[in-house]
């Protein structure tokens, strides 16, 4: 298995890393899963999520009163790294554990926290992101989905697209317009809703990606009646809340480790055919991984302190996506000259999957061009 250097600043995480590696080795040996590239998006296994919940590896940093475990961010980081490096089937709970739970913790009512967070931490409640629409991706403020007040709550109408895992999720956080924009300022008048996906009037249909996997969806909301308390946070504060949610979404190790499982499987083979060119390639990848890892952990610590490091998260994602795509392309170069029959069993499938997922790395969660624009603006460019 890929040997991550220990987290020097938190040696308490070392024992946890061994525990996670032991669990993964047992699961692999018993046929519990087949390693997958891009596992956090395309490999969903609710049973595996429940096993993680039972071990206390979901909602790790949340308070105990909401089913969490009050552990430091470095511990969650270790579990995340090991799961990604193993290509484990973590997609079912990924969004709920990574962002929805923390978002509810920050903006939710006491009741939302009490009813939903313990279920997420147990690996029994999954969630989806309802931001993008057919005409509103990069230009998110152009969304048309609307929620209008009624005597009993809200009526939600519109269409969301590309929502990862919506087909198995229990809730979706939907960004909707609740009042008109103020002239050209379209970020005004938006609100977030915590929508129970079992409500009448919701229709979810799968969309296949380049490799044929239907991991994301189109969701139609046809006059869906929402209770008053479906509002998440403050009415009209949806844009600011969304930006906070995106900081959670953009900065984790999954933004640079998606392809690591492929490298990990290839390393013994590359090692058996070691030469100066291959050594330089591997060394360069590992150097970049170490830097990104420190940056990502730094953002996680800022989030934990209640800060909103939106631009720092963009930097991690921009650099991380380039690296994870680079890993696969460089690997193809390193494999040149090594006969196919020497490849480990199943490696061709893993490599093919990784190649087919490359285009989505720089699109999902905000495109590279958009991230660069945000970073440049922070430096004073208009």
Ligand X SMILES: Cc1cc2nc3c(=O)[nH]c(=O)nc-3n(C[C@H](O)[C@H](O)[C@H](O)COP(=O)(O)OP(=O)(O)OC[C@H]3O[C@@H](n4cnc5c(N)ncnc54)[C@H](O)[C@@H]3O)c2cc1C
By CB under 6 A, name the binding residues for ligand X.
128-132, 137-138, 162-164, 216, 360, 363-367, 369-370, 373
| Residue nearer to ligand X on the CB measure, 32 or 137 | 137
CA distances for 126 relative to 36, 46, 249, 356, angstroms? 20, 9, 15, 25
Q: Is 255 or 364 the residue whose CB approaches ligand X more closely? A: 364
Q: Residue 99 Cβ, how far from ligand X at the closest point, in Å?
A: 10
Q: At 104, list the tokens.
A: 């509810």
Residues 6+ apart with CB under 8 A from 199: 224, 225, 226
Looking at beta carbons only, is 101 or 365 nearer to ligand X? 365
Please name the residue that has the structure tokens 């909301």.
Answer: 221
Least CB distance to ligand X at residue 277 (A): 32
CB 264 within 8 A of CB 2: yes
Q: What is the dihedral of CA 174, 178, 179, 184, to 10 degrees?
A: 0
Q: CB count, 10 Å around CB of 3? A: 9
Q: Is 185 exposed, middle or buried (0-12, 13-18, 19+ CB in 10 A)?
A: exposed
Give the residue carrying structure tokens 């938006």: 190
Helix (H) or strand (E) holding 148: strand 146-149
Nearer to ligand X, 345 or 381 (CB): 381
**Closer residue to ligand X, CB minimum distance, 80 or 219:** 219
Q: Among residues 66 and 163, whose Cβ is nearest to ligand X?
A: 163
Q: What is the CA radius of gyration of the chain?
A: 21
The minimum distance between CB 341 and ligand X, in angstroms, equals 33
In contact, 113 and 105? CB cutoff 8 Å: yes
For ligand X, the closer CB: 253 or 365: 365
Which residue, 49 or 217, is less far from ligand X as judged by CB? 217
Minimum distance between the CB of residue 175 and ligand X, rounded to whole angstroms? 8
∠ CA(357), CA(313), CA(24), 5° rounding?
A: 55
Shortest reach from residue 279's CB to ligand X, in Å = 33
- In the complex with ligand X, the residue whose CB is nearer, 128 or 263, is 128
What is the C-alpha separation between 183 and 90, in angstroms, rounded?
Answer: 43
Residue nearest to ligand X (CB): 137
Angle of helix 310-335 relative to helix 238-250, nearest 10 degrees?
30
**Phi, psi dihedral angles at 223 (to 5 degrees):** 50, 55
**Nearest by Cα to 106 from 61, 138, 76:** 61
Question: Is the CB of residue 281 less than 8 Å from the CB of residue 334?
Answer: yes
As measured in angstroms, the least distance from the Cβ of 67 to ligand X is 24
With 0-12 CB in 10 A as exposed, 13-18 as middle and 19+ as buried, what is 191?
buried
Which of 129/262 has CB closer to ligand X?
A: 129
State the minimum distance, in angstroms, from the CB of residue 203 to ligand X: 17
Pair of tokens at residue 2: 């890929």
Least distance CB 209 / ligand X (angstroms): 6
Provide the 3-class DSSP secondary structure of residue 3. coil
Q: Considering the complex, what minimum distance in angstroms separates the CB of residue 142 from ligand X?
A: 9
CB 288, min distance to ligand X, A = 23
């Amino acid at each position: 298995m890929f040997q991550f250097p220990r987290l020097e600043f938190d040696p308490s995480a070392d024992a946890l890393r061994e525990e996670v590696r032991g669990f993964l080795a047992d699961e692999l040996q018993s046929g519990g899963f087949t390693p997958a590239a891009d596992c956090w998006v395309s490999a969903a296994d609710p049973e595996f999520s429940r096993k993680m919940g039972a071990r206390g590896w979901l909602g790790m940093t949340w308070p105990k009163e909401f089913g969490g475990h009050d552990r430091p961010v470095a511990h969650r980081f270790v579990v995340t790294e090991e799961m990604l490096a193993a290509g484990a089937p973590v997609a079912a709970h990924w969004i709920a554990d990574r962002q929805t739970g923390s978002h509810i913790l920050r903006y939710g009512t006491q009741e939302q926290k009490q009813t939903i967070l313990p279920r997420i931490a147990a690996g029994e409640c999954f969630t989806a992101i309802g931001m993008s629409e057919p005409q509103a991706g990069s230009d998110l403020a152009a969304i048309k989905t609307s929620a209008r007040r009624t005597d009993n709550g809200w009526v939600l109408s519109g269409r969301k697209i590309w929502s990862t895992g919506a087909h198995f999720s229990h809730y979706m956080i939907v960004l909707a317009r609740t009042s008109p924009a103020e002239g050209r300022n379209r970020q005004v008048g938006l609100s977030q809703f915590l929508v129970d996906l079992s409500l009448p009037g919701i229709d979810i249909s799968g969309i296949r990606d380049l490799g044929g996997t239907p991991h994301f969806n189109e969701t139609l909301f046809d006059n869906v009646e929402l209770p008053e308390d479906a509002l998440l946070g403050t009415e009209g504060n949806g844009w600011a809340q969304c930006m906070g949610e995106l900081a959670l979404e953009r900065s984790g190790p999954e933004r640079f480790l998606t392809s690591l499982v492929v490298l990990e499987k290839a390393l013994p083979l590359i090692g058996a055919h070691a030469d100066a060119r291959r050594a330089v390639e591997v060394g360069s990848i590992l150097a970049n991984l170490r830097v990104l890892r420190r940056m990502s952990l730094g953002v996680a610590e800022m989030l934990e302190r209640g800060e909103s490091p939106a631009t720092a998260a963009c930097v991690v994602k921009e650099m991380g996506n380039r690296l994870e795509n680079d890993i696969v392309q460089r690997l193809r170069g390193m494999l040149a000259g090594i006969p196919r029959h020497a490849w480990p069993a199943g490696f061709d499938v893993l490599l093919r999957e990784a190649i087919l997922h490359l285009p989505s790395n720089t699109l999902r969660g905000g495109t590279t061009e958009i991230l660069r624009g945000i970073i440049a603006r922070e430096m004073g460019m208009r």
